[in-house]
Amino acid sequence: MMHRIVKMDFSKCCNKYVSKTSINQMKTLVNFYNLMDLNKDNDEAFNDVAKDYRIWVESEFSWEWEPIWNDFKKDLLYDCYMRILSNCPMGAELWVHCSTNYEQLATIYKQRKNHKLKEDWGEFCAWIESLPYAKELIICEG
């Protein structure tokens, strides 16, 4: 997620448990980050965005900002990026592709079949149970 977070559309990638307030906050932070990054070579445009960012952050967070590397642009981009990472709701969902095998799935299944997050792991375990030879090679009850 860390590599895609500033490209994510939080109105589409969050599950039903994420509040509209959290989604709007993430969208605002991502928008500020992308505008600052886009205008980092244009001092006037960058400073305009930076001013709006600082005003917004002061109203949303308690903020005592000090430059880290004494490079205003890098420091502000870093600050914004860290706020994005730190405030990203757990309900943000990202599709990933993975390769696995039956031995790994057996371990995952045993660890997750009674997991608290039924909507996530319950669905995944049901998919595992539907695989050919799942009863013999993965579930192995009895």
DSSP notation for 43-86: HHHHHHHHHHHHHHHHHHS------SSS-HHHHHHHHHHHHHHH
Beta bridge partners of 92: 14
Given this model, what pLDDT does residue 4 score?
Answer: 83
Return the pLDDT at 66: 66
Closest CA to 37 of 86, 89, 80: 80
Q: How long is the chain?
A: 142
pTM equals 0.73
Q: Are the C-beta atoms of residues 77 and 2 closer than 8 Å to each other?
A: no
Contact 14, 92 (CB under 8 A): yes
What single DSSP character describes residue 18?
Answer: S
- The tens-digit pLDDT sequence of the chain (142 residues) is 677 899 988 989 999 999 999 999 999 999 999 999 999 999 999 999 999 998 899 889 877 666 666 688 888 999 999 999 999 998 888 777 889 999 999 999 999 999 998 888 999 999 999 999 999 999 987 5
